[in-house]
Amino acid sequence: MEATLAYAETHFPQLVRHVNDGEGILLRDGALAVAKIVPLPAPLATTRPKVGETTSAPVKWNPASFAPLDETGMSEPGML
């Protein structure tokens, strides 16, 4: 479909309905094509995890990473 800029200014909601139906619209300023309105692809369906569902791998702690804390007398990690 094609429309002039003047028509688009006064009938934009109607043009958007055409785009929602999957149709592209070429906007013209006189004989010069200036823009194209095209429908976006459908978004991918995203599913959220269920409450309480673990979504990441468990952390594997290395005891050697706590050696500097032990040397300074800190017994709990994160208490710097």
Domain boundaries along the sequence of the chain: 1-38
| pLDDT greater at residue 42 or residue 74 | 42
Give the domain 1-38 fold: YefM-like fold (3.40.1620)
- Asked whether the whole model's pTM tops 0.95, one would answer no
For every residue of 14-54, DSSP letters joined together read HHHHHHHTT--EEEEETTEEEEEE-PPPPPPP--PPPTT--
**What is the structure's pLDDT at 78?**
58
User: Measured between alpha carbons, how far is 32 from 23 in angstroms, rounded to an integer?
Assistant: 20
Q: Please report where in the chains the tokens 């500097």 appear, as a residue.
A: 68
Q: 15-68, pLDDT tens digit by residue?
A: 999 999 999 999 999 999 999 999 998 887 788 888 988 888 887 777 777 777
**Is residue 10 over pLDDT 70?**
yes
**What is the structure's pLDDT at 14?**
96
User: Measured between alpha carbons, how far is 54 from 14 in angstroms, rounded to an integer?
Assistant: 46
- In angstroms, the first-to-last Cα distance of the chain is 65
